[in-house]
Every structure is written in C-alpha cells, then in structure tokens.
Structure 1
Amino acid sequence: MRTTTETDPGPETVAELIARQWGDHRPGLKYGAEAGPGATRAPATVLTRHRTAQEAAARAALLADLLPPGAEPHVGVLLDNTPEFPFWLGAAALAGAAVAGINPTRRGPELARDILHTDCRLLVTEPAHLPLLRGLDLPGVRILVTGTEEYEALLAPYAAAKPGEARVGPGGPRPDSRLLLYFTSGSTGAPKAAVCSQGRLAAAGHSLARHFRVTPEDVHYVCMPLFHGNAVMACWLPALAAGAPVALRRRFSASAFLDDVRAYGATYFTYVGRAVQYLLATAPRPDDRAHPLRLGFGTEAGAVDAARFTERFGVRLVEGYGATEGGASIQHTPGTPPGALGRPGPGDDLAVVDPETGRECPPAVLDARGRLRNGEEAIGELVNRGRSHFEGYWRNPGAEAARTREGWYWTGDLFFRDPDGYLYFAGRTDDRLRVDSENLAAAVIENILARWEAAAAVAVYAVPDEAAGDQVMAAVALREGAAFDPEAFAAFLAAQPDLGTKMAPRYVRILDAMPVTATNKVHRAALRRTGFLCSEPVWHRVAGAYRPLDGPAVEALLSAYGERGRRELLEG
C-alpha cells in the first residue's frame, strides 16, 4: 500500500484516501477499550481499514438515497467520538457531501440555529444526545439515531456498497467539493461555519503525515472531540493519509489517558491547552513514562506546562497555529524559541501589522527572560498577504469580507515577531474569549445574563486563565435595591437552556455603575485592565458555586499564575 513520502504529491481528495483502504486488512480503527480508574478494561475492538471503508461506503449510499432532491448535500453529525463519526466523515467524502460538526455543548435555540444554518436535512445523533434535541423546532430535518434497531434496518440494504458507487451530484467528489462545515466563533455572536474542501483537507493531512513522519505502525489517539477541526485535521486525516489506525476515546479523560494509550498502543495524540493541564493535575505514577507515545500536537499548552509534560511523561509537545478557516498557518521547526509558535507555513506571506494603518509592526524587543519590552509598537494583527487557503463561511458574506479586507487575510489574532522571524501569540482583536480552546462570543453570554432580574447592565470579557487561554468574567451593575445572591445567580444560570457548558462566568464583579467611554459605550478596556484584581466585590465559581474572592483565594490564584509564568498577564 502507498504511504506518504517526501516526494509523493499526495491525493487530490479525501475520497481517494477513503477508497485506498479498500482491500487493506491492516488495522484501521480501534475503540471500546475504555474503563474508569481501577475498573476492568475490555479488549479493544479493531476494525480493518477495509472494514472502515466498507462502513463509509454503506453510509454514503444511505445518504444519497435519503437526501431530498435539490437539498444541499449536508449532514449534521451530533455525536461523541464513536466509530459512527469517522464512518460518516468517510461517507460524506465518498458521496461528495459535507459534514456539519454539531457541538453538543450548545443548547436550545443556539443548537437549533447551528443545524438549520448549515442546511442539514439529515442529522446523525445517538441516544445520549436526544435530550438536547427535545423541544427544538427543526423543520425538514430527518434525525437518524445510531445504535437503534431502526438505524440498523436503514443501513442493512447498503451493506454491499463499495466506494465510488453512491454520489449526491454529477461527476463525483472533486478537490473543490465541500467536506466540512465546522463552526468557529466570532465577535458578532453567532458561530460561523467555515467551509473546508476535500482538496484542502487532503493536502493538510498529507502534509502533517509527512512533517511528523507518520507510518502505518503509528496509532493516532483521538481524544479531542471530532466536531472540532483539531481532531479531524490534525489527528484523523494524517493517520488516513499515512495508512495508520486511529483509536477513539468517546470523551477526553485525564485519569484514563495513559491506560488508553497503552491499551491502544498509541504513538501520537492531539491536544488543547486545558487537556494538558488536566493531565498534569493527575497524581504522578511510577509508570508515567511507560507508554509508546512519541508526540503530541496541539495548541495553547503554554511553554511552562509543555516543559512539565515532557519532563513527566517523556513526550514532546509541538505547538501549532492554523485556524479551521485555513487562512494562515505557522509551523514549529527545530530551533523555535520557547514561547514562540514558529515561522510562517509554506506559501504564507505572514506579517504583523497595525490594524489601523496597515503598516508592518517593528520586531519585538525581548529581555534575557524572553519577556516583551516594546509591546505597544510590536504587537499587531497577524495577516496573510499572500495566497490564502481560506474558502469562506457558509452563507455569511459579511464575515468573509471582514476576513479578506484589502486583498489580505486578517486572522483576528494579535501577534508579535522577533528579529529572527519567529511568531508569538499575543491575544485577540475583538471581544472573543477562548475557554478550553472553544471560541465564545461575549455578546451571546451578555444577552443571556441580561435576563437576570437583578441585573441593570452586564459586560462580559476575557481574563487570562491560570494555565492557557481565557476565562469568562462578567461585570454586573445591579438594579437599585438589589443585592447579589450567589445561590440565586447559580440557579438562574442552570435554568438557561441556551447557556453552553463553557459560558458560565468564572468571575462575577459587582459594580454600582458600568464604566462607559465618552461615546457611552461600555469601557471594556478598563474592565479587562483590572480583571479580578479590582476594588469591587468579586465572586469566584468553585465546583459550580459562587464564593467571595477574598484575600486567601486571591493569593492562591496568583500563586497558580506565577507557577505557570502567566502572572504578568494580569498586570494590565
């Protein structure tokens, strides 16, 4: 079988990658070897690459028959990391259709909006997620529930299908065929569905497989959710390109991580910063280095936690930068300084520019400890002045135009660049928050908190997390005569059907009046500048309950920031 090489140009479509598995009886998919700490672990179920292609072909045929005439060839997938998810990714690729990854942390009308906005006429889910759909208005959407007798009966007539037989349009899948509609949040509130074509995704998988020298003897452990680009683009696709099997974890578990790795023989995994923090928080074990892992690839681990991870587990973490949109990429290469993400990827003409003037910012001046000394002039927005791989947002021309102003791709992220050309992430340009590697829009959370009867005004903004990314902080001006009742506030949050699991404020600051600018807008910069180190009362969410952030609690927090080298982020 073909494997990726330095000179191999790679496949043109993901459909080709799926079809290549036909007749290949090496391991393709491992799952089911999950158990809690101390529990008996069942042996993994292993499907061959041929079997995974067979399952994808069957679903491609079902999709082609169930899709209404004239409908967009989109199927929503609301699943945990079960085998059905890669089966449907493969099915969409073979049929020339697209998967919309539906986020199960979304709730109520916001969840319905994601499904309807992406024109999904089919929605694949599982019994565990059916409560999320209860009461939602989803006109014209047919729901397929995996693991049921009805679902198995629907699939049975297509068991003999082969790759390439079922297509949703003339000509079959092409490099420019849509394959993913994956949501990414922005400052306007509603998430945007980034369009990802088969050609771009196939090239990305091939490139990563070559960069990390993936072979069929590797095993890629998929513990990040497949409804996000991280798991699909950086874990599933490079394994597919190199002929390596993937091992699925239904949901990430820090306590079971190493046991999973050993059970599956995993050599590679992808992560987000919060996952690394959770892994480091587990109790050290004598066998922490007894495993086959050789590499982790992801984002936002932070230099301190990445070093601790390598020291404890003996595994190198490689930080990357590359949004789902594909507009800009940064590659970590040997010699990349601590704290830097790397240099521009092949073909990218990346620059750090002043968003007001469009002029390139001067290089950063770093002291002996690598701390930035000229941030005011060195920090700007990262733009790609060359050929971008951005393919647009589904039915959102305004957002597309904002991304591609003046012929450049504007990332919306702040960076600085050292004299040697290495790029360092410095924040975001708009009112976004990144919590546990999920992009959240402040306006959405504000609209929900504004329903609280005791609130006269609400402003939501990001404060740095102790380890990586952001946490949600809400400034609340109370109505006259009202007092902050922490139990009532927690109960209010729990009763909001559209409050996603990442949206509940970690910190709540109680104000007499909301600070405003000369134009009568909320003075967010002033709020961010002081964060939770302010003179007003602040409440801190611990285990779902809000408690006063008093002196000892503040000192404990500051110590946590200091241990990870992030204390200076609080000094605005």
Structure 2
Amino acid sequence: MSKNNQISLNRFVYQLPSIAKKLPKMLQGLIITQNSNAKSETGLGWAVEKAAKHNPNGMAVLYQDCRISYQEFNRWANQLANYFLSLGFQKGDVVALLMENRPELLVVVAGLAKIGVVSALINTSQSGRVLEHSINLVKPKAAIVGQEMYDVFVESQQSLELAGNAIYWVADVDTRSDTGCEPQNTQNLMNIIKNAAQYNPVTTNTICGHDGLFFIYTSGTTGLPKAAIFNHARFMKAYGGFGYTLQLDKNDIIYVTLPLYHATGMVVCWGSALAGYSGIALRRKFSASAFWKDVTEFQATAFGYVGELCRYLLDTPPSSYDRNHQLTKMIGNGLRPNIWMEFKQRFGVKQVMEFYASSEGNIGFSNVFNFDNTMGFSPMPYAVVKYDEVAGEPIRNKQGYMIPVKRNEVGLLIGKITKRTPFDGYTDASKSQSSILNDVFKKGDRYFNTGDLVKNIGFRHTQFVDRTGDTFRWKGENVSTTEVENIISSLPFVQDAVVYGVEIPGTNGRAGMVAITPTIGEVVDSMRLSVLLNHLKSNLPRYAIPIFVRIRQNTETTATFKYQKHNLKQEAFNPTKVDSDQLFALLPKATQYCHISIETYDAIYHGRYRF
C-alpha cells in the first residue's frame, strides 16, 4: 500500500468540510447505534412500520416486474405475523427459512420479526449433511421453504427434527396474485395468510434490543457451519450506523444481488434502505452482464457489493450502460485497493461506503469519511496486534501480553469485549469461548478474535489484508477447511486431506487447494480424481470445491499433530516448487481436474484463465 493511503490528522481534518452537511444525520444515527434503553421502540419490525408510516406510497421492494409499496409490504408482513401469533408462536421461537432472493423472503423475515420469532437464514448453497446440520442446530419450530429450494429440502427431510405439519411452502411466483399448488405434506403459506388481519401486531412494540432476530451461519474456523446470534440491537446499529451515513432518501433505490442469507444484504443493505424509507431492488442471483442494465431499469442510485462482485463488473466489456445510470453510491466490503480507483472512475461512483463487520463479531468499521482504499474508521475499542502466521496465534511479550503493531504494519484485529461491545457468541458455548482472547494487555481484559489480518493505516483506520487460520474467503464466501477436509477424507482412497487457500493473481480472496495423501497401496489417477470431483459436487457448495489438488506421499504435522499448512500455502500450485508431487487444477468451465504443467501454471499466473 502506498504511504499516500495512510490517514493522518491533516488528511482527516481536510475531509471534514465535504461531509459537514451529513454530520447532523450521522450524529442521529450514532445515537441510534448507542441506544441501550431496553424499553425504547426498536428492531426490524419497528423500522418497517416507521417507513410505512412516513412513506406509505413509496417503493419498498422492487423485483422483476413487481413493485411493492411500503404500505402494501407492511400489511403483507402483518398478515404473516398475525397468522403465526394465532398459532401460538412467541418471542424466542425459531423458524428456518430456505428461500432465494425475492420479496416473499423479506416479507417472512419482517413478519416474524414483529412477533419476536427468530429467522434462521439458511444458506441456499447448502445441501445434504451440511443443510441438515444447519437446520437441526437451531431447533426450529417450523420451516418455510421456497419452491426453488424444495427438492433440496426434501432430500434431507427425513434427517430433520421437524414435525410433519410444520413445513410451509412458498410458490416461486408473485404470490400476491398466484399462491401456486403446494406439494403433499406441506402447507401453502401465502394461501393460508390471505385472510389474516393486516393491522400492526401489538408485539412489535414489545421487542427489546437483546431479543433474537436472525441466526446467520458462518463457517468460523472449524467444522460445520456455526449459527451466529444476531439480535435486534445489532440490526439497529447497522440501521443507524450505515443507513444514517449512506443517507438514502425516499427517492433512492438500492440494488441488491447479494444473497439475503448474508448480513451484508439482509442487514446492511436492507437496513440502509429502511433508514431512508428507500426501496430495495432485488435480483435472484448476481449477473455481471445484466447488472448495469438492471441498475438503469430500476433507477437505482446505490448498490450493495462484495469485492469479487466488483472485479466481475470490471471484467465486462465497456458498454453504454457503464455511465448511463443514476447510481453514485455503493456499500459493502472487500473492494481491493488494486481496483478501487479504476472501479470508481469507470462507473462514475462518488461514494464507496466500504465497511468491516462480521455476523458474530463485536466491532465494526465504516468508511464514513469517504477515504479511498480503507475499510474505514471505528469508534469502538479495538487493537491490531502482532501475529505469528506459522504458529497461527498472536505474539506475546515476556510479560505475557500482546503487542500492538505500529502504523503501516499488519496484524491481527481484535475487538475489546465491553458492555457496549458485547460478544453475543454462537449457539455452541464452547465455540464462543474459543473465540475469546484473555489477558491481552492486562489481567482480566477480554477481546474477540476476529481471525482477520489488517493493516493499521492511522487515525483509527485500517485496511483489510487476509483471513487467518483454518478459514479462507472465496467468491465472497467463507470456506471452512475442516469441513472440506472431513468430506474429502471420507473417501476410502484418501488417508489425509489438508485444505488451504492459495492466491490466484488477478482474483480476490483465496482459491481452495487440497493436498491429498493416498491410502497405502492406492494411486490417485484420473478415475480417482473423477470420483473425488463428483463427491465434492454432491456434498459442497460450488465455492467450497477446491480448485487445485496436490497428491503427496506424506503429510507433515506439528508436534501437536496440526497440519503444516504454511509451506503448502507458499508452494501453492507452482510445479517448480513441489518436487515429485503431482498437481491438478479444475480450470474454468472444465468438467474434470487436469494436470498442471509449466505451461498451464504460466497461463493461470498471467490471467489467461478467468476464475
């Protein structure tokens, strides 16, 4: 990073006049984020009702040809809330949601939020054992499944701890006019609620900040997905912090192609829209070729992003849509410094609201001052400490305390656990404890380990560098190496599987790579690689399937039997560094792994393949 990206006091003060007009509303937002009054009106349901009151005829949700006003949306959510209230659902109950981006998903979430029911936002890339684990983990009272996900759900249904009459089905059409014909042994939710009361339920005003709102799933650092608890207070932090800084208004539309089972789409983007009584325009899944056309047709003025999405847009051929739009703002995370300015200049973006947060974490950063190449500023108590990547742990001094990094140095980001920045944790208490660092700078202090390496660029600003340990990020998703290792190791010809992330020049994040040690007497040939790939496709989402495979004779471990990943990451998929080990790659659009020759490596390294 250039020293020009460092934030000094002079640069900070120089930037203040450009945001002077925004400061009053930003301060209002700050008050909302700091509200700890348990009796005050709060939460997602309250935010929906407030927007419906102040902008009843304004657009709340846009999707394909659907245009739904705030008044219509609120009444629809009320029907769902009042129906589930009539069944006896109450605060703290959990409902599993398995549905792709569309208005019905937001209606269900809003309706359940009004009565204090927690929505478990299931990742729609999941299937099989992972899906079963994610649903059973939160012990739902019911499941609501979109038609588009029903076949995947049925394959796992016998392993789910759900009553047969607790499965609700939602047709994959505009269900305001056509509720569809449900499969046997399911209930047609949108048909059932048609005659339910449309008034605001009294329960909305009983929601407190500490009440649960979502379970959002995170790979964390080990094993199967963990369900991170996300309460209404955290939603209001995003509502006030991001919404009152991005400052959308009644005339604005934010375009969202990010999956709504992730906090960036569901909390940051939707929260920002609700804060401005603005509309949210949805697309089922991201399409680079259709992106700017959609932006133009929806008349969107902002969009939500992750870094990989931005790179895909830059890879598209120039077109008349690049600047023929009203969009000037973007909010998200992972926009890399090497494409930051190019993206802004090509597409005419004036404000990049880069932020940093995690579903389970207790601190956040946001680019409130609109600097370039930073994940932003944080007023919360945090530290960046020296980290030993080989040992996989923070470095401590002779007194046993951690060591803060200096300006322009990289270290581990940790967030201090206080009353105002609590760590809500996971459903599994033991996993929560493993994320806490004790006696960091003095006896008795406690910090949350984010697992992220960042660069300290000064004046409480940081720049994201990488993930640590046993999780890496690819295609905007966290990949748990332990989960992938367990699935590969279940094959009879695999003795050991070590999974890690490696860099591919010109891409964001880390691509998956696995070093396989075959069972004694076995040879991993093309037939075995074909079996491996089919096994991976059946058990993992596409983003978690390793791009590279390394076949080796022995597995190196530490004295405590942890895999030695440091050297593997350094050697990556370079055939000149792996001695006699064989290397294979799953090239774009390929249906099988192919051998990596020097020529293949060269082509990958110089960007002739687009991963």
CA distance in 2, matches of 1:205, 1:54: 21
Give 1:318 deviation, angstroms: 3.5
Unaligned residue ranges in structure 2 (runs of 5+): 1-23, 33-40, 172-179, 182-187, 388-393, 439-445
Are the equivalent residues in 2 in contact too, given 1:348–1:384 (CA < 8 A)? yes
CA distance in 1, matches of 2:314, 2:339: 8
CA distance in 2, matches of 1:305, 1:454: 43
Secondary structure at the counterpart of residue 75 of structure 2:
helix
Residue of structure 2 in register with 1:514 after alignment? 555
Percent of aligned pairs with the same amino acid: 22
Residue of structure 2 in register with 1:120 after alignment? 140
CA distance in 1, matches of 2:219, 2:544: 13
Residue of structure 2 in register with 1:28 after alignment? 59
CA distance in 2, matches of 1:236, 1:453: 46
One-letter code aligned to 2:192:
L
Are the equivalent residues in 2 in contact too, given 1:189–1:443 (CA < 8 A)? yes
Residue among 307, 317, 324 paired with 2:359: 324
Residues 561 and 183 (structure 1), Cα distance of their counterparts in 2 relative to 1, 3 Å cut: farther
CA distance in 1, matches of 2:533, 2:224: 20
Residues 335 and 13 (structure 1), Cα distance of their counterparts in 2 relative to 1, 3 Å cut: closer
Secondary structure at the counterpart of residue 408 of structure 1:
strand
Residue of structure 2 in register with 1:56 after alignment? 77
1:188 aligns with 2:222: yes
One-letter code aligned to 1:275:
L
Give 1:78 deviation, angstroms: 0.7
CA distance in 1, matches of 2:130, 2:257: 25
Residues 59 and 394 (structure 1), Cα distance of their counterparts in 2 relative to 1, 3 Å cut: farther
Residue of structure 2 in register with 1:197 after alignment? 231
One-letter code aligned to 2:411:
I
Give 1:172 deviation, angstroms: 2.6
Residue of structure 1 in register with 2:66 after alignment? 45
One-letter code aligned to 1:494:
N
Residue of structure 2 in register with 1:362 after alignment? 405
Give 1:116 deviation, angstroms: 1.4
CA distance in 1, matches of 2:487, 2:286: 28
1:162 aligns with 2:205: no
Secondary structure at the counterpart of residue 291 of structure 1:
coil
1:383 aligns with 2:430: no
Residue of structure 1 in register with 2:583 after alignment? 538
Are the equivalent residues in 1 in contact too, given 2:340–2:372 (CA < 8 A)? no
1:348 aligns with 2:373: no
Specify which structure has the higher proportion of helix.
Answer: 2
Residue of structure 2 in register with 1:36 after alignment? none
CA distance in 1, matches of 2:562, 2:50: 57
1:525 aligns with 2:566: yes
Residue of structure 2 in register with 1:290 after alignment? 324
CA distance in 1, matches of 2:312, 2:610: 15
One-letter code aligned to 1:53:
N
CA distance in 2, matches of 1:519, 1:118: 33
Are the equivalent residues in 2 in contact too, given 1:351–1:384 (CA < 8 A)? no
1:483 aligns with 2:517: no
CA distance in 2, matches of 1:555, 1:139: 50
Give 1:275 deviation, angstroms: 1.3
Give 1:465 deviation, angstroms: 4.1
Residue of structure 2 in register with 1:265 after alignment? 299
Give 1:518 deviation, angstroms: 4.2
One-letter code aligned to 2:489:
A
Give 1:401 deviation, angstroms: 1.9
Are the equivalent residues in 2 in contact too, given 1:96–1:178 (CA < 8 A)? yes
Residue of structure 2 in register with 1:549 after alignment? 596
Residues 563 and 473 (structure 1), Cα distance of their counterparts in 2 relative to 1, 3 Å cut: closer
CA distance in 1, matches of 2:210, 2:370: 36
Give 1:394 deviation, angstroms: 4.2
CA distance in 1, matches of 2:420, 2:530: 44
Greater shift, 179-188 or 51-60, is seen at 179-188
CA distance in 2, matches of 1:405, 1:117: 25
Which deviations, in whole Å up to 9, do the C-alpha atoms of 1:505-533 show, x marking residues without a partner? 10001112222334444211121121112
CA distance in 2, matches of 1:450, 1:139: 27
CA distance in 1, matches of 2:27, 2:465: 36
CA distance in 2, matches of 1:85, 1:282: 30
Give 1:218 deviation, angstroms: 0.9
CA distance in 2, matches of 1:52, 1:449: 45
Residue of structure 1 in register with 2:170 after alignment? 146
Secondary structure at the counterpart of residue 224 of structure 1:
coil
Residues 405 and 519 (structure 1), Cα distance of their counterparts in 2 relative to 1, 3 Å cut: closer
Give 1:413 deviation, angstroms: 1.4
Are the equivalent residues in 1 in contact too, given 2:380–2:421 (CA < 8 A)? no
Give 1:67 deviation, angstroms: 5.3
CA distance in 2, matches of 1:257, 1:562: 22
CA distance in 2, matches of 1:394, 1:382: 17
Runs of 4+ in 1 over 4 A off after TM superposition: 385-388, 561-564
Secondary structure at the counterpart of residue 133 of structure 1:
helix
Residues 393 and 271 (structure 1), Cα distance of their counterparts in 2 relative to 1, 3 Å cut: same
Which deviations, in whole Å up to 9, do the C-alpha atoms of 1:371-402 show, x marking residues without a partner? xxxx6xx5234333655534523421112223
Which deviations, in whole Å up to 9, do the C-alpha atoms of 1:352-389 show, x marking residues without a partner? 35524242333145xxxxxxxxx6xx523433365553
TM-score of the pair, normalised by structure 1: 0.86
1:412 aligns with 2:451: yes
Are the equivalent residues in 2 in contact too, given 1:27–1:245 (CA < 8 A)? yes
Give 1:72 deviation, angstroms: 4.5
Residue of structure 2 in register with 1:559 after alignment? 606
Give 1:82 deviation, angstroms: 0.9
Residues 26 and 446 (structure 1), Cα distance of their counterparts in 2 relative to 1, 3 Å cut: same
CA distance in 2, matches of 1:208, 1:93: 20
Which deviations, in whole Å up to 9, do the C-alpha atoms of 1:383-432 show, x marking residues without a partner? 33655534523421112223333322221212231355432323233211
CA distance in 1, matches of 2:342, 2:271: 28
Are the equivalent residues in 2 in contact too, given 1:75–1:124 (CA < 8 A)? yes
Residue among 275, 279, 290 paired with 1:256: 290
Residues 178 and 520 (structure 1), Cα distance of their counterparts in 2 relative to 1, 3 Å cut: closer
One-letter code aligned to 1:545:
Q
Greater shift, 448-457 or 289-298, is seen at 448-457
Give 1:479 deviation, angstroms: 3.1
Are the equivalent residues in 2 in contact too, given 1:455–1:479 (CA < 8 A)? yes
CA distance in 1, matches of 2:595, 2:474: 22
Greater shift, 205-214 or 490-499, is seen at 490-499
Give 1:245 deviation, angstroms: 0.9
Which deviations, in whole Å up to 9, do the C-alpha atoms of 1:266-300 show, x marking residues without a partner? 11111112211221222221331111111122222
Residue of structure 1 in register with 2:267 after alignment? 233
Residue of structure 2 in register with 1:400 after alignment? 432
Give 1:487 deviation, angstroms: 5.1
One-letter code aligned to 1:78:
L
CA distance in 1, matches of 2:551, 2:482: 19
CA distance in 2, matches of 1:222, 1:335: 21
Unaligned residue ranges in structure 1 (runs of 5+): 34-43, 366-374, 565-572
Are the equivalent residues in 2 in contact too, given 1:379–1:414 (CA < 8 A)? yes
One-letter code aligned to 1:403:
S
CA distance in 1, matches of 2:280, 2:555: 51
Greater shift, 494-503 or 273-282, is seen at 494-503
Residue of structure 1 in register with 2:10 after alignment? none
Residues 28 and 563 (structure 1), Cα distance of their counterparts in 2 relative to 1, 3 Å cut: closer
Residue of structure 2 in register with 1:447 after alignment? 486
